Structure 1
């Protein structure tokens, strides 16, 4: 049985965030999970990683304190949105930690945080690649549904991403 702790990440942990993100981009599943490449992000300056670490993220750490999973939560509000919402990005679980419920707990923390925001977030959304069937099934089990909105996948515009949302209970 794998033991892990889920908690909010801190901005001063940007180096650990960088390490896990670059590992995620090398993962074979990353080709349909992320909208950037290892080569692009590996070249980012430290300042970019430090700015990214300012975004609210939730991580899972193993029993020795090493990061094994991550999700970032972007708060979206303003004129372009009907109501405040959050947007989950950068979902990643190391392969050896997959299939045991960690991803559900991790996203559960991000979703719960979203519902507690003072902005009264009405929904949580994410985008998922058309070929990422495992992720689509997982998000559906969590209660996410497709909205009907699509967009071209940034790394291959002949492919499609689907928007999925979870409405506030």
Structure 2
């Protein structure tokens, strides 16, 4: 769940209580971007030492990537190929890996789902929850994934977008939230 395969990164400035996000502009060659990796290693052993809290924050961040990419107005067939699987997988396994971080089978499943979500959101876009969680995280000094939870609770919506998003999420499969 620590695997980042997105075209962006963030920098924190604790003195100003701000976080800045940066993305590689379209058309800029990857070697000019400087900070983008050429490859990502996917290894559940590396994630084994993550605390339960870090596991939850990273898992919610990945789930948010998948959900926002899937309901994005810029969603496309390529990003759509990754989203439902990532949403279902993270929804089914996040609680288990949070409860038992040493379970390498659960870690492996999550470590594979997180890049799917990252690829999807890199090829579509994220939405208001991600945009709002950056200042929430900077101001309250909370992790990015935790900031998503706070941002999602207060995100303004409109009826047309809500109906489209709800329909897309029903297509994605069972809710990752127990009892819903």
In the superposition, the TM-score normalised over structure 1's length comes to: 0.29
- Which structure shows the bigger proportion of residues in strand conformation? 1
- Which structure shows the bigger proportion of residues in helix conformation? 2
Specify which structure has the bigger relative contact order, considering alpha-carbon pairs within 8 angstroms and separated by 6 or more residues.
2
